[in-house]
Amino acid sequence: MNDLNLIRRYEPISVAMHWITLLLMIAIYASISLHEAIPRGNPWRGAMEDWHIYFGFTVLALALIRLAVNLRLRTPPISPPPPVWQLRVSAAVKIYLYVLMLVTPVFGWLLVSGEGESVNWFFIPMPALAAPSESLADLAGEVHEMLGESGYFFIALHAVAALYHHYMVKDDTLRRMLPAFLQKQGRN
Ligand code: HEM
Ligand code: HEM
């Protein structure tokens, strides 16, 4: 019997969407950091904000598809099973990561709508979510910043926990989420 069949793992569609989201999140944080680092007047400054928005809308769309797909699929069990408290903390962090992927972009969208700016998702013009309003832009900007910056902590916590399980506990938490072509290398 093929060795791979012994590992109960996430479906390829869930695995693909998970790792594509990681790449998009890196691009989202890198583009906004570059935007802040580039001096005003340099055209790359505006371009970096545009790419931040394009990738942000992409994460929002992918998270909606991901949620719809993953809610229909069973989470593969971890072997050997971790303590119940770890499963509970992990589930809470995963729910928060969905909040990060779904709610943060909506507040970014409200922020630019409040500022009266028109935005595109690549070449697609996106409608404003609300009428221009300075107070809305300020409030949405604060919530967007708070949620966005919390992502550094929660993504790091989630990734460190996955690596801890792989290298220290030596269970199959991470292997269940690896693409099939990495499964062999991922084995302990
Ligand atoms: C998951 C998706 C997103 C994440 C994690 C995210 C995260 C962030 C972070 C960390 C900042 C820097 C905040 C600061 O230090 O001031 C930022 C700024 C910004 N984001 Fe997002 N963002 C996302 C999606 C979006 C979307 C979809 C839009 C617009 C439609 C948007 C518009 C903006 C704008 C305009 C700024 C600059 C705000 C300023 O200059 O004060 N973001 N975002
Ligand atoms: C280096 C970075 C990352 C690593 C090593 C990693 C690893 C993992 C692993 C091993 C799982 C399965 C855990 C389990 O079943 O209990 C998982 C699930 C999950 N991860 Fe990550 N992850 C990373 C980044 C991210 C990012 C950036 C996000 C979203 C912002 C994210 C969101 C999720 C979600 C929501 C799940 C639950 C399964 C699903 O709905 O797709 N992860 N991750």
Residue 175 exposed, middle or buried by CB count within 10 Å (0-12, 13-18, 19+): buried
State how far the Cα of 113 lies from the Cα of 127, in Å rounded to an integer.
9
Residue 1: the pLDDT is: 38
Please choose from 152, 177, 178, 183 the residue to mutate so as to test ligand 2's pocket, defined by most ligand atoms within 8 A of CB. Answer: 177
Mean pLDDT taken over the chain: 94
Whether the CB of 111 sits within 6 Å of ligand 1: yes
Q: Write the CB contacts of 171 (distance below 8 Å, at least 6 apart in sequence).
A: 78, 79, 80, 82, 165
**pLDDT digit string (tens) for 38-57?**
999 999 999 999 999 999 99
Our count of domains for the chain comes to: 1
Using CA atoms, how far residue 51 sits from 47, 54, 56, 165, 167, in Å, is 6, 5, 8, 34, 35
Whether the CB of 21 sits within 6 Å of ligand 2: yes
Looking at residues 30-36, what average pLDDT do you find? 98
Residue 109: the pLDDT is: 98
Query: What ligand 1 atom has the least distance to the C-alpha of 151?
Result: 5
**pLDDT digit string (tens) for 96-134?**
999 999 999 999 999 999 999 999 999 999 999 999 999
Residue 183: the pLDDT is: 74
Structural domain harbouring 167: 3-186
Distance 41 CA to ligand 2 centre (A): 38
**pLDDT digit string (tens) for 150-177?**
999 999 999 999 999 999 999 999 999 9
Which ligand is nearest the CA of 182, by number?
A: 2
Specify the CATH number for the domain of residue 139: 1.20.950
Residue 184: the pLDDT is: 63
73: left (phi over 0), alpha (psi -120 to 50) or beta: beta
Between 51 and 3, the higher pLDDT residue = 51
Whether the CB of 141 sits within 6 Å of ligand 1: yes
Distance 107 CA to ligand 2 centre (A): 23
